[in-house]
């Protein structure tokens, strides 16, 4: 009998945060791939957290060439992986808000075309509890009445790219609350340009905050009418909305940032 030996996994680099989860998460997300810490992958988090259920996070790997995927995870969350971005015709950049259960390293990892993961991170000092707390009330309005409603706007950047910021009404339940509410969250978002061409794909998970607010930077040609946002939650419900290109916006659009609700 012949035994085929599997290649030994390269040891991940020593963690600057001394996280007890680093080796486990490295194996889970990076597998056999090479991993390096890289200052060109930048993570932005607030110095003081006022609301553990709505923590702003920015992941920026635009200084790297050939980024195929960008993921964001928090080592000490009960559900670590928050978001994955495929920047097909977009920059390797995403901003969003996430729930934090306790003080933790928050990391972004960018996979480049050569098969190397480039990792950056920041330590977030937070009291926690954001993952297990129930969603806040929706201003007295039923979730059924507002579910999937989307607002947003596009801005043109100096380099010709377009910044898209949009907010989708959704409870984003983690399933970890004491009331036994099952997990219910938006799991897929796709930004499309002219003729339905995919600009970026997002996979989102339970740690993304209630009513997710996302910022992307996409490459939209001057002939583009705008960006279509298609999203789907884990119950299979589909939501669609459209954002007008900056050069097609009226003064009212620019002032209010309105877009067509699904």
Tokens of 25: 């998460």
Rounded Cα–Cα distance for residues 246 and 250 (Å) = 9
Give percent of the chain above pLDDT 70: 85
Q: Is residue 137 part of a domain?
A: no
- Name which residue leads in pLDDT, 119 or 50: 119
- Name which residue leads in pLDDT, 127 or 245: 245
| Residue 217, strand partner residues | 163
Q: Is residue 10 part of a domain?
A: no
pLDDT tier for residue 201 given thresholds of 50, 70 and 90: very high
pLDDT tier for residue 133 given thresholds of 50, 70 and 90: low
| Residue 235, strand partner residues | none
Query: What letter does residue 196 receive in the DSSP assignment?
Result: G
Q: Is residue 181 part of a domain?
A: yes
Rounded Cα–Cα distance for residues 236 and 247 (Å) = 34
Give residue-wise pLDDT tens across range 5-62. 445 556 789 999 999 999 999 999 999 999 999 999 999 999 989 899 999 999 999 9
Say whether pLDDT at 181 is over 70: yes
> What is the total count of domains within the chain?
1
Residue with tokens 């098969």: 115
Q: Is residue 250 part of a domain?
A: yes
Q: Which CATH number goes with the domain that contains 70?
A: 2.60.40.2470
**Phi, psi angles (nearest 5°) of residue 16:** -70, -20
Tokens of 52: 């553990």
Contact 228, 192 (CB under 8 A): yes
Q: Is residue 100 part of a domain?
A: yes
pLDDT at 20: 96
Q: Is residue 214 part of a domain?
A: yes
Domain holding 71, by residue range, is: 22-130+142-256
Rounded Cα–Cα distance for residues 87 and 23 (Å) = 27
Helix, strand, coil fractions of the chain, as percent rounded to 5:
10, 40, 50
CA atoms within 13 A on the CB side of 221: 7
Instruction: Return the CA Rg of the chain.
Output: 19
Say whether pLDDT at 252 is over 60: no
What does the pLDDT average to over 187-206?
A: 96
Contact 166, 150 (CB under 8 A): yes
Say whether pLDDT at 259 is over 50: no
What does the pLDDT average to over 201-225?
A: 94
What does the pLDDT average to over 131-140?
A: 60
pLDDT at 262: 31
Say whether pLDDT at 203 is over 90: yes
Q: Is residue 14 part of a domain?
A: no
- Name which residue leads in pLDDT, 175 or 228: 228
Give residue-wise pLDDT tens across range 60-118. 999 999 999 999 999 999 999 999 999 999 999 999 999 999 999 999 999 999 999 99
What DSSP letter does each residue of 97-113 carry, written as one string?
Answer: EE--SSSEEEEEEEEET
Q: Is residue 262 part of a domain?
A: no
pLDDT tier for residue 1 given thresholds of 50, 70 and 90: very low
Give percent of the chain above pLDDT 90: 73
Rounded Cα–Cα distance for residues 205 and 174 (Å) = 8
b/e map 168-182, b = 16+ CB within 10 Å: bbbbbbbebeeeeee
């Amino acid at each position: 009998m012949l035994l085929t030996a599997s290649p030994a996994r390269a040891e991940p680099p020593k963690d600057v945060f001394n996280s007890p989860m680093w080796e486990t998460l490295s194996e889970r997300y990076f597998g056999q791939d090479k991993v390096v810490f890289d200052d060109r992958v930048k993570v932005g988090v607030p110095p003081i957290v006022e609301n553990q259920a709505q923590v702003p996070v920015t992941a920026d790997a635009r200084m790297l060439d050939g980024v195929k995927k960008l993921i964001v995870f928090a080592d000490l969350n009960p559900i670590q992986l928050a978001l994955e971005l495929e920047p097909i015709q977009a920059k390797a950049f995403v901003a969003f808000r996430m729930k934090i259960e306790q003080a933790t390293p928050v990391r972004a990892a960018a996979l480049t075309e050569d098969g190397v993961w480039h990792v950056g991170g920041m330590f977030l000092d937070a009291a926690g509890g954001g993952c297990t707390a129930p969603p806040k009330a929706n201003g007295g309005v039923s979730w059924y009445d507002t579910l999937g409603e989307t607002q947003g706007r596009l801005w043109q950047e100096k380099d010709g790219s377009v910044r898209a910021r949009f907010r989708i009404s959704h409870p984003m339940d983690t399933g970890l609350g004491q009331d036994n509410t099952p997990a219910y969250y938006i799991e897929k978002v796709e930004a499309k340009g002219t003729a339905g061409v995919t600009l970026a794909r997002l996979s989102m998970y339970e740690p993304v905050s209630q009513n997710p607010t996302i910022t992307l930077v996409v490459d939209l040609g001057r002939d583009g009418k705008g960006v279509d946002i298609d999203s789907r939650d884990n119950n299979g419900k589909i939501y669609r909305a459209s954002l007008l290109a900056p050069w097609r916006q009226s003064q009212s659009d620019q002032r209010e940032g309105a877009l067509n609700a699904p």
